[in-house]
Amino acid sequence: MAAWKCLPALLLLVWVAGGISTTTTTTTCGNCKENGNYVICRHSAGGDVYEVEVLMETELLLQCKPSTTNLNLTFMEGCSFPSVEQIKVYGCPLPNASFGELFFQMGVYPENVTTFGFYDRNERDRPLEGWHLDGLEGLLTLEFVNNDFLGLPVDLFTPTPSLRRIKVVSDSFSSLPESIFFNLPDLETLNFERNRLETLPPGLFTNLTALTNVTFSHNYLSSVDPDFFSDKVNLESLDLSHNQIASLERNIFENLGALRNLSMQGNLLESLPSGVFSKLLSLEVLDLSFNVLRQLPEKAFDRLIDVKNIDLSNNSLDELPSEAFSKCESLARLSLRHNNLRKLQAEMFPRQTSLTFLDLGHNNISFTVNSAKILQEGPVSYEGNFPLNSQIRLQELLMNDNKIDFIPSAINNIFVDLKKVDLSGNEITDFSYHSLVFYQDSVILNLKNNNISYVDFHEIYDLLNEKEVKLYLEGNNLFCDCRMYLFTRIVQGQPIRKMKIMDIEVEDIEKVTCRNHDGIQQLLSQVDSTQLYCVIPDVQCIRNCSCLWRAHDSMVIIDCSFLGLQELPDLSILSKPLTKISVTLDMKNNSLYTLKGLKDPQFANLVNLTVSNNKISFINESDIPTTLKVLDVRGNELTNIPEPVLEVLNATDMILSFSGNPWDCDCDFINFLNFLHTPSRKVTDFDEITCARGNVYLHDLTEYSLCPYFMQPMVIVTLVAIGAFLLFFAVFGTVSFYKYKQGIKVWLYAHRMCLWAITEDEMDADKKFDAFISYSHKDEEFVNTVLVPGLENGDPKYRICLHYRDWVPGEYIQNQILQSVEASRRTIVVLSSNFIESVWGQLEFKAAHSQALQDGTSRIIVIVYGEIPPESELDDKLQLYISTKTYVKWGDAKFWEKLRYFMPHPPKKLNN
């Protein structure tokens, strides 16, 4: 004994010095090594492996490997750890001698040990004996954990009279000797958790007046004697949870004025005696969860003015006393989760509005006002009936899995500290923007598994501060229609109006689905928000048509297709829109002949018009509203698009579709072809446009193949400038000018401008007359009094050969005509119905005229005088006349200007 007392003390000094001066390990005593501020000793022989660590000189850990059956501590021979106060032994067998002897062998002074823990006993056959704690008279704290002791000897604590704290956990004994604690007057804490105790002997706690914390949780106790606690005035914490206690005596807690924490959860309590808590004036925590409480006595908690936390969850409460918690003025946390509560009253909750946490989850709570009350008191608002309106300090409110059918506005307007709301598993149908605006900057709102069909962002407004809401929305009945537009955009991170709203994070976005109009579920994150629409009810739509509203572009889509309509529908029903709308009108497969009326105010919002597969043969420029952005005229009877319409279309950026029409691919078509060819043109079906004849694709045609004679106005000017224009006339004789070109030239000529550009060729120079006039004698008056004087006396003056006047009497009429034509540089035909009936009827006349035409010796000017039959009723030759296009209509404002233009210029000088 003397040996270990002196030598190791010296060695210890060496370790300490070594430990401070160097970090390398040095051998100290026995089989030990020292490293920094811990020493490690290892034994390994004959299958027994264990090691000892000494930390900071005060704490010793002995750890055995599972195979160890006997402790042989010779490997620590010569060691001394006089400062060790705490010893923890893990996984070792009970020693054959007392623990005091064992510690002594390791160089520890047993009487200096204050804390001893023995955990996870190995080799479980050897029983715990009364002498095992011998030598540990200084012990204050004892922990036996998970040792599977089958009983505690009655004299176990005799050697350790100073014990303050005993923890014997996870053993297998079912009873305790009555006098086991008799010599422990200082015992404060007793923890006998997780044993198999069924009863406690009546005198077990006699004289333990210092007890503050007692735990017998997780045993099989079925009752507790009131005498146990009769003198425990210092008791602060009593944990009887997870036993089988079915009832409590009324006076059991009578003397526990210092009790702060009472845990009775997990028992079989069906009811509480009234007044059972009435003396617990210091109580702060009351846990009665996981019992089978059906109801609570009136005023049960009235005296608990310090109580901060009451847990009544997982019971069978179906109602609460009318003022259950009203006097608990410190109550901050209350859980009523998993009961059968249906109705709550404002009076039940603390008057001091102290609640910060309230869990009402998994009940049958609804806030709906019952109809009897409405009958009695008149309409009562849901919100007014919300019983928590005065609990203004709530930070966390859990009301999941109830029968709540609206989101109480108190969460947004009253609970200024609210950070978390769980309303999942309820029957909520309406959810609007306002329910996301909280006082706090970051709030979690759980709305999973409700009946929400859309998130109403109709009344969205700016926020002053940056806010964030974490939202859960899975398991609702969302419908992806126009009403979900804004929410979908926000959730998908797409821009909406320039607004400062909260940052909405849908935490379960990958599980949030919505149903589209075809009943198909889609992930909300993948919905194409630009296509979200609603169906407008038939009564608000145009008769027989169907109407949709598309949110993204504020578009009313009206489908009037396949209805046999001959007119555009009356859109005036849409003419008083609240916001600016656009209209798409689909008129495909109807019987429209015209687009007349499109410029009426009722079409002012029309942006997309489909009139494909109708019978439209002509489009007038006055029919095209410039607001139109899309026009589809496929499958109609259009042959050409007139120039003025092209101009209107060119001025817009319209998307156009033209295929399926019987296009006339002739010279007149060039403007349209060029129009289509403009690179910026948005024609959806250019590749499909074909000509009426030959089924030729338009994109294969060039200007030249369409009309070989075509020349651009600029080219003409250039050619004229270089004289080629003359050659052009010489080669081709009669050239058909386009109206507009004639227009320009008539104007130029009348204004005496650029005469060099239009000088007549010299071919007709030797002709006797400037013009021969051919007319019916029934139109003689017009010819003699108007036409001839106008030409012969105007400026310039023309020399006119007049049929009848200048003909030689007796000559054969055909010759006369031929000679007249030959002698004149122009032939003027006064084309009237008289002419067609009387003159044209004469075969000779016709023959002469046509011959003259074919010879190309003269050019014909047709003056249309009065009404003539439609072109289609004229015979071929006459049609040919008219098609020369050098015709003027009497009555035309520019009659004389045009006529003079067609006349040779300058005229042949009159031989005066």
Ligand X SMILES: *[C@@H]1O[C@H](CO)[C@@H](O)[C@H](O)[C@H]1NC(C)=O
> Contact residues for ligand X (CB under 6 A)?
45, 70, 72, 74, 82-83, 96, 109, 111-112, 182, 189, 206-207, 212-213, 215, 236-237, 239, 260-261, 263, 285, 584, 586, 608, 610, 630, 647, 650, 655
Smallest gap from Cβ 9 to ligand X, in A, equals 11
Nearer to ligand X, 213 or 620 (CB): 213
Pairing state between β 420-422 and 357-359: unpaired
CB of residue 7 to ligand X, shortest distance in Å: 17
Pick the closer one to ligand X by CB: 204 or 452.
204
CB nearer to ligand X: give 212 or 602: 212
In the bound complex, what is the minimum distance in angstroms from residue 520's beta carbon to ligand X?
20
Residue 796 DSSP SS3: coil
Q: Which residues contact 327 (CB under 8 A, 6 or more apart)?
A: 301, 302, 303, 304, 305, 350, 351
Q: Which two tokens stand for residue 26?
A: 């040095």
User: Cα 174 to the chain's mean position, in Å?
Assistant: 61
Burial of 249 (0-12, 13-18, 19+ CB in 10 A): middle
Supply the minimum distance, in Å, between the C-beta of residue 274 and ligand X: 24
**Closer CB to ligand X, residue 656 or residue 899?**
656
CB atoms within 10 A of CB 679: 4
* End-to-end C-alpha distance for the chain, whole angstroms: 170
Nearest-10 crossing angle of helices 643-651, 670-677: 10
Q: How far apart are CA 244 and CA 250, in angstroms?
A: 18
Nearer to ligand X, 241 or 402 (CB): 241
Measured CA to CA, the distance from residue 829 to residue 774 in angstroms comes to 5
Provide, rounded to whole angstroms, the least separation between the CB of residue 17 and ligand X: 19
Q: What 3-state DSSP class applies to 719?
A: helix
Cβ proximity to ligand X: between 183 and 884 the closer is: 183
SS3 (DSSP) at 829: strand
- The CA angle 316-318-322, to the nearest 5 degrees, is 125
CA 116 – CA 139 distance, rounded (Å) = 7
Give Rg (Cα) of the chain.
Answer: 55
Q: How many other C-beta atoms lie within 10 A of the C-beta of residue 364? A: 13
User: Taking the complex as a whole, how short is the minimal distance between the CB of residue 550 and ligand X, in angstroms?
Assistant: 10
* CA–CA distance, 14 with 48 (Å, rounded to integer): 30
CB 466, CB 482: distance < 8 Å: no
| Residue 197: CB minimum distance to ligand X, A | 16
Nearest distance, CB of residue 837 and ligand X, angstroms:
44
Tokens representing 801?
């050969």
Q: Which residue, 38 or 182, has its beta carbon nearer to ligand X?
A: 182
CB of 800 to ligand X, least distance (A): 41
Residue closer to ligand X by CB (options 293, 555) is: 555
Residue 188 Cβ vs ligand X, minimum distance, rounded to whole Å: 7
CB closer to ligand X out of 627 and 838: 627
Pick the closer one to ligand X by CB: 547 or 638: 547
- Return the number of the residue (263 or 385) whose C-beta is nearest ligand X: 263
Task: Residue 849: count other Cβ atoms within 10 Å of its Cβ.
Answer: 24
**How many other C-beta atoms lie within 10 A of the C-beta of residue 208?**
21
Residue 131: Cβ-neighbour burial (10 angstroms; 0-12, 13-18, 19+): middle
Q: Are 641 and 619 in contact (CB under 8 A)?
A: yes
Per the CB < 8 A criterion, the answer to whether 504 and 490 are in contact is yes
Q: Which residue is nearest to ligand X (CB)?
A: 237
Nearer CB in complex with ligand X: 110/907: 110
Question: Residue 75 CB, nearest distance to ligand X (Å)?
Answer: 6
Query: Other CB atoms closer than 10 Å to residue 561's CB: what's the count?
Result: 18
Q: How far is the CB of 261 from ligand X (least distance, A)?
A: 3
